[in-house]
């Protein structure tokens, strides 16, 4: 439409932060943590004030679309007023008190964002869950979190009703639906008559704000506690430095509402910067609709997972024109250099990789103005002192592989979780000396860039060599037949373990002679990386096992390999 086109022009003139170097960016970083902090009042309502006096451009605060041509645009003022109504529903109709846990399992609908802000305003503890959870998962989450309230939609309400009697703490249920349901408050109806007069709870900076579940790549998802300042202030490092956001930007992050990644890139980081949060309620991940959206809407900053980029580059991206797009980032898994190169060739844009966990804000990142070394996660974010450690907690010199750790003593940095909820021994096991141990392995090069090697559990030990799967997967990726792969250890009578590759072939290679293809692929890996890393075993499969968030579950493949002996 005409108005959208006009915005494209506006947004192109947005001025980025423009730090001339990594050092100047680090110098710019300053976090003052007040005793009381609440993101809704101290950040969102401040943007509303800026909006009112014309100090913020007329960029929406929230811009939502779905596949059926529906659209929602809110200013910060509208977001404020609607979230206050929602807050009154939580405290009055649901009689929730400060500190009460609230599970929110909603798809990417505007009410999900309102629920986030309403929980902030009332000081209730938000626990987001993905809509792909089963009845059993929901029971696990309701029980382990002792949630007092659940907010969900028509699709999952029956599953909740089936198990609600086993959850003694659960006393109120809200449904987002056009229809009413017995035993549930209908949010849309209640919003119609709720007052938008609400005063935000004065939360302490170190009071619990939310509990996020990890992705469950290596086992049962863990519950991670974050305080009001941890994400509410800590994520400014993501928004300001990694995402490079300003009030003129429109940020689109494609991750599911159930993961901390949505808190990172669809809530806190953009709103801290006064940018617009863009959301597309896509029923499924379809490369064509992603590309269509990037070209139709004035999205300036795009964030997705490596698995999504791998799918996108298999399309003819050059045939699309992204008029506003200026910054692309990826996180959640390592991204293969091959994929970033293909993306750059067809869009002219680099992918700025970031590394972090549900437990943290950004740990390492590639930042604007910094030279990108393909395959590296960049340099430490200003929030953390990141070190490579040996098993005794000693800092290792550049070039040596070890555990990636964050310094937590004498001062625990803002942006780090408080603890694994209800799991003190797990919490204790991640501390080594003055450091928090991430569970990931990597090394730092002479220039201070960090390189991801592997999750500690995924390392393959073959004939005395330590091999990280990602490097082998990246070498495989360069072969034209390989769409995706997962590399794991497999038992071997002589070597103990050998490298095994599970490969998903590109469509045009499926009919090739498989024995011949295996030899070719093996030769290719021997040439592109150290020969001892080549996969001695290769198996072609249709699909890799992945988490709901799209991460490769190497542990499932590994367990199958070892079960057969």
Quick one: DSSP state of residue 361?
Answer: S
Measured from the CB of residue 104, what is the shortest distance to ligand ATP in angstroms?
18
Measured from the CB of residue 332, what is the shortest distance to ligand ATP in angstroms?
5
Q: Which does 534 bind (CB under 5 to 8 A by kind): Mg ion, ligand ATP, none?
A: none
Query: Is residue 379 within a helix (H) or strand (E), and if so which, with residue range?
Result: strand 379-380
Comparing CB distances to Mg ion, the nearer of 214 and 273 is 214
Closest CA to 99 of 167, 31, 169: 169
Q: With binding defined as CB under 6 A, does residue 551 bind ligand ATP?
A: yes
Measured from the CB of residue 79, what is the shortest distance to ligand ATP in angstroms?
27
According to CB under 6 A, which one of 110, 221, 298, 402 is a site residue for ligand ATP?
A: 221
Residues 357-376 that bind ligand ATP (CB under 6 A): 357-358
According to CB under 6 A, which one of 274, 334, 402, 468 is a site residue for ligand ATP?
A: 334
Binding-site string for ligand ATP from residue 339 to residue 358, where x marks contact by CB under 6 A and - marks none: --------------xxx-xx
Closest CA to 245 of 84, 450, 47: 47
According to CB under 6 A, which one of 226, 379, 455, 500 is a site residue for ligand ATP?
A: 455
Check if the beta carbon of residue 258 is closer than 8 Å to that of residue 105: yes
DSSP β-ladder status, 223-227 and 250-253: unpaired
Binding-site string for ligand ATP from residue 388 to residue 427, where x marks contact by CB under 6 A and - marks none: ----------------------------------------
Comparing CB distances to Mg ion, the nearer of 247 and 402 is 402
Cis peptide before 410 (omega within 30 of 0): yes
Q: Which residues pair with residue 505 across a beta bridge? A: 482
Q: With binding defined as CB under 6 A, does residue 544 bind ligand ATP?
A: no
Check if the beta carbon of residue 330 is closer than 8 Å to that of residue 309: yes
Size of residue set near ligand ATP by CB under 6 A:
24
DSSP symbols for 240-260 = IIIS---TT-EEEE---TTSH
Q: Which two tokens stand for residue 356?
A: 């972090």
Q: With binding defined as CB under 6 A, does residue 332 bind ligand ATP?
A: yes
Q: Is 253 left (phi over 0), alpha (psi -120 to 50) or beta?
A: beta
CA–CA distance, 22 with 59 (Å, rounded to integer) = 29
Q: With binding defined as CB under 6 A, does residue 430 bind ligand ATP?
A: no
Check if the beta carbon of residue 122 is closer than 8 Å to that of residue 91: yes
Binding-site string for Mg ion from residue 199 to residue 228, where x marks contact by CB under 5 A and - marks none: ---------------x--------------
Q: With binding defined as CB under 6 A, does residue 452 bind ligand ATP?
A: yes
**Sheet architecture: strand order including 482-492:** 482-492, 496-505, 537-540
Comparing CB distances to Mg ion, the nearer of 172 and 217 is 217
Cα→Cα distances 334→11, 156, 339, 452, Å:
30, 33, 11, 7
Please give the residue ranges that form the binding site for ligand ATP (CB under 6 A): 214-219, 221-222, 331-334, 353-355, 357-358, 377, 438-440, 452, 455, 551
Please give the residue ranges that form the binding site for Mg ion (CB under 5 A): 214
């Amino acid at each position: 439409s005409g108005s959208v086109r006009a915005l494209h022009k506006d947004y192109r003139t947005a001025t980025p932060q423009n730090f001339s170097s990594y050092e100047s960016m680090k110098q710019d970083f300053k976090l003052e943590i007040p005793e009381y902090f609440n993101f809704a009042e101290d950040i969102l309502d401040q943007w509303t004030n800026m909006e009112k006096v014309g100090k913020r451009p007329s960029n929406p605060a929230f811009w939502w679309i779905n596949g059926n041509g529906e659209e929602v645009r809110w200013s910060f003022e509208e977001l404020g007023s609607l979230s206050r109504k929602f807050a009154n529903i939580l405290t009055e109709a649901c009689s929730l008190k400060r500190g009460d846990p609230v599970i929110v399992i909603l798809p990417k609908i505007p009410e999900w964002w309102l629920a986030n802000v309403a929980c902030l305003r009332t000081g209730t503890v938000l626990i987001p869950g993905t809509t792909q959870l089963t009845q059993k998962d929901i029971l696990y989450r309701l029980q382990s979190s002792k949630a007092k309230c659940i907010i969900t939609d028509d699709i999952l309400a029956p599953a909740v009703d089936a198990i609600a009697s086993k959850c003694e703490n659960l006393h109120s249920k809200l449904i987002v639906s056009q229809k009413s349901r017995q035993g549930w408050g209908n949010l849309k109806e209640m919003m119609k008559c709720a007052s938008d007069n609400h005063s935000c709870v004065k939360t302490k900076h170190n009071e619990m704000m939310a509990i996020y579940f990890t992705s469950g790549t290596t086992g049962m998802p863990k519950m991670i506690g974050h305080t009001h300042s941890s994400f509410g202030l800590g994520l400014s490092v993501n928004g300001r430095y990694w995402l490079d956001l300003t009030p003129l930007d429109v940020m689109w992050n494609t991750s599911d509402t159930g993961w901390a990644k949505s808190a990172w890139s669809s809530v806190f980081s953009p709103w801290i910067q006064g940018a617009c949060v863009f959301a597309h309620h896509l029923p499924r991940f379809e490369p064509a609709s992603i590309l269509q959206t990037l070209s139709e809407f004035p999205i300036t900053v795009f964030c997705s997972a490596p698995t999504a980029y791998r799918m996108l580059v298999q399309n003819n991206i050059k045939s699309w024109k992204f008029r506003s797009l200026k910054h692309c980032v990826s996180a959640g898994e390592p991204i293969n250099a091959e994929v970033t190169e293909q993306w750059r060739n067809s869009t002219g844009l680099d992918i700025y990789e970031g590394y972090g966990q549900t437990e943290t804000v950004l740990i390492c990142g590639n930042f604007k103005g910094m030279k990108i070394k393909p395959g590296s996660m960049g340099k430490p974010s200003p929030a953390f002192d990141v070190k490579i450690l040996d098993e005794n907690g000693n800092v290792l010199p550049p070039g040596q592989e070890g555990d990636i750790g964050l310094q937590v003593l004498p001062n625990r940095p803002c942006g780090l979780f408080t603890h694994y909820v209800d799991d003190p021994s797990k919490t204790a096991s991640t501390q080594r000396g003055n450091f928090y141990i991430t569970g990931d392995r990597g090394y730092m090069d002479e220039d201070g860039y960090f390189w991801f090697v592997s999750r500690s559990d995924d390392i393959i030990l073959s004939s005395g060599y330590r091999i990280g799967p990602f490097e082998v997967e990246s070498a495989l990726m360069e072969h034209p037949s390989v769409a995706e792969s997962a590399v794991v250890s497999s038992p071997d009578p002589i070597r103990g373990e050998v490298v095994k590759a599970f490969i998903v072939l590109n469509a045009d290679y499926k009919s090739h002679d498989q024995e011949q293809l295996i030899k070719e692929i093996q030769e290719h890996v021997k040439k592109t990386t150290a020969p001892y890393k080549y996969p001695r075993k290769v198996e072609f499969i249709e699909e890799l096992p992945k988490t709901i968030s799209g991460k490769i579950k190497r542990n499932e493949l590994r367990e199958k390999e070892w079960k057969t002996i």
